[in-house]
Amino acid sequence: MKNSKLINILCDPVSKEQLSIKSNTIYSTLNQYPIVKGIPILLIDKKLQNNAVKILTNNKSRVGYSWVDSNWNKLNIEKLVKTTSQKKLLLNLGSGTPKEKEKFKKMGYEMISVDINPTYFGVDAICDAHKLPFKDNSFDVVSAFEVLEHLDEPWTAIKEINRVIKKDGRFLGSVAFLKEFHSSYFHMSHWGVIKLLEFGGFKILNLYGGQNVYSRLIHNIFPIGFSKMSSSIYNFINVIIMRARLYFWSIKNLKNPNIILTKFDPKYKFSFKEYDKIKFSPTILFEGKKIGSRI
């Protein structure tokens, strides 16, 4: 296999038993899965499995879009990921481009990228997030940026994510909230994120809103000129409106909008600035710590 780390942590996605390799096949007692060009295809659905074999065999892979790379500085993702001096193993759900892998590597992480879609270049294994083919307690960190809303059953996937993370390990990523439909099932408010992570056995460490609702929604409905120009205009509008809201709130309440208060949300403490941002955000970013298993 392309990634030598995989062989020691892989398991059957159904039975969770140890896998063995023989030639271009990886197998357990009852199931077997193909390996194509060093990439194990650990899918239960035979139709999806055969399609993945065909795509990889015919060299139809391409470099996918990296949401993380595009928003790295704008959404302070580096602070969310956190640089480590220790070599830590990170599972990235939803693929990850080579450029994205390099960013994580510089921060001290060895990334294993997985996706159910075989068309993206740089994937280490093809699998389903609802049935992860990894042993219990395999990873220090799991990341899932703009992935959970695309899953049929995120409540099932969160249990699998908990299972493969080591004790006190972290789960971090983002999920769509006030974003246009894009082949997604479950856009979530910050309450939805909190509920899902708590159900999965995670304690919330970080929660904040990102991106610009005017640029994401209004620009897509009513673009002004070329795409980049339209986006820039709506980004400017967003800055003006949000700053005005901060100013008038502080005048009315005679308080600093950066002070943490309990009045805004019964589930999480925000300053007015943080709360106002999260209410109007296309995406919610999060970081959770594993505190126990709900499996």
pLDDT in tens, 196-250: 999 999 999 999 999 999 888 888 888 888 888 898 999 999 999 999 999 999 9
Tell me the pLDDT tens digit for each residue of 120-159. 888 999 999 999 999 999 999 999 999 999 999 999 999 9
Q: Residue written as tokens 């703009």?
A: 146
Report the residue count for the chain: 295
- pLDDT of 17: 94
CATH, domain range 67-211+282-290: 3.40.50.150
Q: Residue type at 59? A: N
From residue 204, alpha-carbon distances to 148, 219, 231, 260, 267 in Å are 16, 32, 32, 16, 11
For 103-150, the three-class secondary structure string (H helix, E strand, C coil) is HHHHCCEEEEEEECCCCECCCCEEEECCECCECCCCEEEEEEECCHHH
- pLDDT band at 31, cuts 50/70/90? very high
pLDDT for the residue 292: 62
The domain segmentation of the chain, as residue ranges, is: 6-57, 67-211+282-290, 214-278
pLDDT tens-digit profile of 77-96? 999 999 998 889 999 999 77
Distances (CA, A) of 242 to 141, 207, 233, 238, 274: 34, 19, 14, 6, 11
Distance CA 227, CA 229 (A): 6
